[in-house]
Amino acid sequence: MSTTLFRTFQPNQFSLLGTSLLRRRRSNNFSVRSCGSQTTTTHEAKQSSPTRVAPKNHKSNKLDEILRDYEAVIGIETHVQLSTLTKAFCSCSNNYGSYPNISICPVCMGLPGALPVLNSKVVEFGVRLGLALNCDLSLKSKFDRKQYFYPDLPKGYQISQFDIPIASGGYVDLDIPLEFGGGHRRFGITRVHMEEDAGKLLHSDTGDYSQVDLNRAGVPLLEIVSEPDMRSGIEAAEYACEMQRIARYLGVSNGNMQEGSLRCDVNISIRPIGQAEFGTKVEIKNLNAFSAISRAIDFEISRQALLYNQGKADEIVTETRLWEEGAQKTVTMRKKEGLADYRYFPEPDLPEVILTKEYVDSIRASLPELPEAKRRRYEAMGLGMQDVLFLANDVSVAEYFDAVIGKGAEVKLAANWIMSDIAAYLKNEKLSINDIKLTPHELAELIAAIKDGTISGKIGKEILFELLAKGGTVKGMIKAKDLVQITDPVEIEKMVIQVVSENPKQLEQYRSGKTKLQGYFAGQVMKMSKGKANPGLLNKILLEKLNAKD
Amino acid sequence: MLSTLQPPRSLSLLPLRRFQISKTIVSAASSKTIDTSVISPPQSQILTTRRSLLSGETTAVEIAKSYLSRIRLTEPQLKCFLHVSENVLKDAQEIDQRIAKGEELGPLAGVLIGVKDNICTQGMPSTAASRILEHYRPPFDATAVKKIKELGGIVVGKTNMDEFGMGSTTEASAFQVTANPWDLSRVPGGSSGGSAAAVAARQCMVSLGSDTGGSVRQPASFCGVVGLKPTYGRVSRFGLMAYASSLDVIGCFGSTVADAGMLLHAISGYDRFDSTSSKQDVPEFQSQFLSVDQFGSKPLNGVKVGIIRETLEDGVDSGVRSATQEAASHLEALGCVLTEVSLPSFSLGLPAYYVIASSESSSNLSRYDGVRYGNQVMAEELNKLYECSRGEGFGGEVKMRILMGTYALSAGYYDAYYKRAQQVRTLIRKDFKAALEQNDILISPAAPSAAYKIGEKKDDPLAMYAGDIMTVNVNLAGLPAMVLPCGLVEGGPSGLPVGLQMIGAAFDEEKLLKVGHIFEQTLKGSSFVPPLLANVA
């Protein structure tokens, strides 16, 4: 579940509207962080690759001016697919492969006479997420039927929660990365409710028939509805990112957007700044990456602002639009004619969901430290915001880091090792931090060995890669390879004298002013010491010898 | 106008030639004293079967053959079954083999059981009498059926019903209309009309039905058999094709209270596949079924019986009313303390029931969309596929209820209909609770009339709905109730049976069975066997 990746930053500037040749107002807002993405997913790598810089043109300034007059109001509905062992209302495996209709039974197929039975893990996960989002929990909630016909919906209704969700009235805190302007934000959470997923339709290439795969039908979801608190694509993407982070911290979902384990639908309207009432709301679907959320919103803001500006505000209609990744634009999917009537009513096949205070308290007590708490703690430890966001981004990395400093390693040094050499190694090897053989304890040992001068930093880096790949102990490796740093000036002096005496030509050149050759001598001495000579001492003694008048 | 008639007598379940149908008409009202010397009280077919199998008097195969031959003889007129199992004799042979090997026999060993067609039977057609499920064979047994099979019961076949349980006559079956064994021109009631008529005609010993608003009790009354609707949650609904989930229960038919009770015992209990099933203990009902000679002079001494005033008012046939009053007198003679009780919310039940049942059914029947199973009409376009599959698959009554339910749940109408109906439901529960705190059981007629003619109410749905007035409130309150024959009224070749409804407190089926059994065993001339069987013989 916790395939680990590090936060990377991809600045990408791009043209918004192919036809209108528009650009977004603040250039730093073009950047989208691909966060928590999976290294192995080539799809996302492609999506978040830098996009060509749009040619500057005179119209861009005009759009910037237009955009200055409007404010976007954005809310997000997030569907989190839960990583329970079995489906929400039957005992079918929730871990199905790619072959269609292998994880189905009379219940999730909606056969006559089959009845749903609630998987208690779904409630547990709902409570966990509700608490993590600072919500009030309904000690007595219920399920309702949301009714509509579609071939991927076997019963003709989705079991969901309507008027009494399991959790409501919460909020989420997050930090906007510095490169996007920085700052702390709090976004309201309207509600969290439990429901079941639908199946999937597979359309034939010719388009003359479709097939239904019900493996996903009945898979548990938590839907998180935000307050309309976000104002930009970046804020929305950061919100979605935090939802993924929280889901992964809690272990309720793998949060993988490409697989559809985390799905975001965005509701967006704009209004002239100063206007109290909301504009016409448009829903955007098919947002499969955080970058897509950000870009789709920025596109939509421009589209709507232009329509306003051209006096065509009535062309902004209540509709569902699709984000087209290829074209980098949103297009109409369906216009809504009035509100859909789902004819919700209480699900008579399931009893009410009753939570006791003790149950809620026990879950509260079992919650891990959440991203926001971690970030604040790391910040208090003196780490810069960039480090804080990096380390807290991935729960496995954060846990690793916590374990390293738990073993007494210096905070800043531990952070540097993880963020630089280890991160690079993981990236190259396409591994998660959980895959490496280097235990947090040994990393702490390594840091200590360098700090106390037992080995040089250079040697440290060398053995790091062996430890990462093969494991073992720092002490054992130092001993086996005889890597203890030479700090005895007499011993170093001996080697310096030998090297100097063996290179008379270079010495002469040095003394005639080619002082750059000091590096050459230092290298020779280091080579002779097999890299073990203390570099400070070496250079001090070397200088003395080189400059000595004999 | 109608007098209560003495029922014809029958002596034993087997063989047929021993049935003696008497047409002597004697007013039951004249015989208040308990006198069982003239006619032996009805015998439990389940216990009789067990005794004869264990004693070696007969074999399961012989018994099965005799029932199958009766089915062959009577079925062309009655049309109780939509499907008769091909495995009856094979199943019976297995029972005989077990007996031969001296293996232990389940309590239902060799018992021939009819199963309503909306209850899933693995590999056997289960269509809820709907075209939309024509030829559908479920891959699993309903929990109730599974339990029956585990206890040795043999499923004879699938009984006819009103499509998806929506109706009171079996005329709404997509396939056939079942006739009442007491008068072939009359309906057997519904929706479990096939199950009731099959037991009445001794085509099977007992049967399963389902009761959403009276669908077990009203046909029991029309066919002169015992119909037992258990407390909501007593029997798992898993495998029962849902009509109205919050009202549906699987119920039992038998020719005696003991048979209905023993069948109920077999299928009761918590089921992890139905989260609305109850974890309440299931008592051993059988201890209630004493033989007549074990009764004292006042076997029901002190049992408090409330007769529901609102059920004997206008709109109830006078014959039904007097039969009910005579039944009450009989209970008094047995020692019961009779009082009249009033349920102020009584008349609100019918409209509330039709709103709730239609609403839930509109949702429950959404799954019949022609996509995964059942009737599919190929179409160029998705909505057409739905339209045609459902349009051709569902009958008129079902469509009407889906429309009503869809309307009642629509935005803007929900509060006025569904929510209001739920409020009424709460009132009805409260009134029943109060009445049952004062009384052990409540009694009423099972239906406002005896069986009526086929076609009589077919085009007047409101008149037909009105016939459910005695029974729907019990479903709204989730209570157990039993209907048992208490008398005959004029009509048909030898009178038409009338049922008495007994309503108990939640999960107190035991008391209903006790009172019902004693009532039945002491009712003067109490063998309710339809005249059809004499013709067959």
**Residues A352-409 pLDDT 10s:** 999 999 999 999 999 999 999 999 999 999 999 999 999 999 999 999 999 999 999 9
Best of B143, B363, B388, B420 to substitute, by most chain A Cβ atoms within 10 angstroms, is B363
Confidence of residue A338 (pLDDT cuts 50, 70, 90): low
Cβ burial, residue A439 (10 Å; 0-12/13-18/19+): middle
> Are the C-beta atoms of A12 and A32 separated by less than 8 Å?
yes
Mean pLDDT value across residues A6-35: 35
Task: Retrieve residue A73's tokens.
Answer: 């109001």
Q: Among residues 12-31 of chain B, which lie with CB inside 8 Å of chain A?
A: none
Contacts of A116 in chain B (CB under 8 A): 275
| A6 band by pLDDT with thresholds 50, 70 and 90 | very low
Contact B372 A212 (CB under 8 A): yes
A151–chain B Cβ distance below 8 A for any pair: yes
Q: Say if B407 is an interface residue toward chain A (CB within 8 Å).
A: no
For A338, which residue in chain B has the nearest alpha carbon? B411
How far away is chain A from the Cα of B450, in angstroms, using its nearest Cα?
A: 32
Looking at residue B17, its pLDDT comes to: 32
pLDDT at A361: 97
% of chain B residues with pLDDT over 90: 83
Query: Given CB atoms, is B133 within the 8 Å cutoff of chain A?
Result: yes
- Residue B232 makes CB contacts below 8 A (sequence gap 6+) with B246, B247, B249, B276, B475, B478, B479
For chain B, say whether A147 makes contact (Cβ under 8 Å): yes
Q: Which residues of A touch B362 (CB under 8 A)?
A: 343
Q: Tokens representing B196?
A: 């009731």
pLDDT at A340: 77
- Are A112 and B367 an interchain contact pair (Cβ–Cβ within 8 Å)? yes
Residues 345-384 of B with CB under 8 A from A: 359-360, 362-363, 365-369, 371-373, 382
Question: Is residue A549 pLDDT above 70, yes or no?
Answer: no
- Among A89, A214, A343, most B C-beta atoms within 10 A, so best to mutate, is A343
Q: Do B240 and A113 touch (CB under 8 A)?
A: yes
Both tokens of A48, joined, read 């978040």
Residue A157 contacts B where some CB pair is shorter than 8 Å? yes
Q: Shortest Cα distance from A115 to chain B (angstroms)?
A: 6
pLDDT at A513: 86
Distance CA A13, CA A32 (A): 10
Terminal CA-CA length for chain A: 68
More confident residue, A470 or B235: B235
The region that residue B153 occupies, defined by phi over 0 for left and psi between -120 and 50 for alpha, beta otherwise, is: beta
A111 interfacial to chain B (CB closer than 8 Å): yes
Q: Tell me, what's the pLDDT at A335?
A: 82
Q: Do A112 and B372 touch (CB under 8 A)?
A: no
Q: Which amino acid is at A463?
A: I
Q: What's the rounded Cα separation, in Å, for the pair B365 and B353?
A: 17
Exposure letters A373-406 (e unless 16+ CB within 10 A, then b): ebbeebbeeebebebbbbbbbbbbbbbbbbbbbe
* pLDDT tier for residue B535 given thresholds of 50, 70 and 90: low
pLDDT value at residue B528: 87
Cα distance between residue B220 and residue B188, in whole Å: 8
Tens digits of per-residue pLDDT, A292-322?
A: 999 999 999 999 999 999 999 899 999 999 9
- What ipTM goes with this model? 0.91
Rg of chain B's alpha carbons, rounded to an integer?
22
Q: Which amino acid is present at B281?
A: D
How far apart CA B398 and CA B392 sit, in angstroms, is 12
| Sequence-distant (≥ 6) Cβ neighbours of residue A400 within 8 angstroms | A418, A433, A440
B120 at interface of A, judged by CB pairs closer than 8 A: yes
Under a CB-based contact definition with an 8 Å cutoff, are residues A464 and A414 in contact? Answer: no
Which residues sit opposite B5 in a β-bridge? B488
Q: Which residues of B touch A106 (CB under 8 A)?
A: 138-140
CA dihedral B252, B254, B256, B258 (to 10 degrees): -50
Question: Per-residue pLDDT for A8 more than 80?
Answer: no
CB atoms within 10 A of CB B26: 15
The span from the CA of B353 to the CA of B465, in Å, is 10
pLDDT range class, residue B524, cuts 50, 70, 90: confident
- Does CATH place domain B45-300+446-535 in 3.90.1300.10? yes
Question: Distance (Å) from the C-alpha of residue A92 to the closest C-alpha of chain B?
Answer: 13
B242·A113 Cβ contact <8 A = yes
Would you name the residues of B annotated as active-site residues? 116, 191, 215
Q: Which residue(s) pair with A171 in the sheet?
A: A188
Cβ neighbours of B274 in A, within 8 Å: 115, 117
- Beta carbons of A296 and A287 less than 8 angstroms apart: yes
Token code pair at residue A438 = 């280097």
Q: How far apart are CA A519 and CA A511, in angstroms?
A: 14
Q: Which of B69, B64, B145, B68 is nearest to B110 (CA)?
A: B64
Query: What is the dihedral sign for C-alpha B166, B171, B176, B178?
Result: positive
Q: What is the mean pLDDT of residues B182-206?
A: 97
Characterize the bridge pairing of strands A262-272 and A70-81: antiparallel
- Which of A516-525, A532-541, B145-154 is predicted most confidently? B145-154
- Categorize the per-residue pLDDT at A336 as very low, low, confident or very high, splitting at 50, 70 and 90: low
Give me the residue from A106, A145, A212 closest to B363, CB to CB: A145
Cβ pair B272:A117 closer than 8 A:
yes
- Tell me which residue of B513, B499, B501, B507 sits closest to B479, measured CA to CA: B507
Q: Is the dihedral of CA A106, A107, A109, A110 positive or negative?
A: positive
Mutation for B interface: A105, A109, A115, most B CBs within 10 A: A115
Whether residue B191 is preceded by a cis peptide bond, meaning omega within 30 degrees of 0, is yes
Predicted confidence (pLDDT) at residue B4 exceeds the cutoff of 90: no
Q: What is the pLDDT of residue A47?
A: 35
Q: Which positions in chain A touch B128 (Cβ < 8 Å)?
A: 112
Task: Test B246 with A212 for CB contact under 8 angstroms.
Answer: no
Which two structure tokens, joined as six digits, stand for B513?
């069975």
Which of B118, B136, B245 is facing A348, going by the closest CB pair? Answer: B245
pLDDT score at A86: 96
pLDDT of residue A165: 98
Domain boundaries along the sequence of chain B: 45-300+446-535
Kindly state the tokens that stand for A244.
């993924």
Interface test with A, best of B409, B413, B415, B417 (most A CBs within 10 A): B409
Write the DSSP assignment of B308-350 as a string of letters: EGGGGSTTS-HHHHHHHHHHHHHHHHTT-EEEEE--TTGGGHH
Overall average pLDDT of the B171-188 stretch: 97
List the one residue out of A53, A513, A76 whose CA is nearest residue A292: A76
Among A77-81, A95-99, B59-63, where is mean pLDDT lowest? A95-99
Give the amino acid at B318: S
A317 contacts chain B (CB < 8 A) = no
Distances, alpha carbon A494 to alpha carbons A482, A499, A525, A529, in Å: 19, 9, 10, 11
| Tokens found for residue A28 | 């730093």
How many Å apart are CA B231 and CA B480, to the nearest integer?
Answer: 4
Q: Indicate the DSSP class of residue B493.
A: T
> Cβ A343–B386 below 8 Å, yes or no?
no
- Other beta carbons within 10 angstroms of residue A159's beta carbon come to 21
Q: What dihedral angle (degrees, nearest 10) is formed by the CA atoms of B85, B87, B88, B92?
A: -160
CB of B413 within 8 Å of a chain A CB? The answer is no
- Number of CB pairs < 8 Å for A and B? 103
Residue A479 CB neighbour total at 10 angstroms: 11
Contacts of B411 in chain A (CB under 8 A): 339, 341, 343
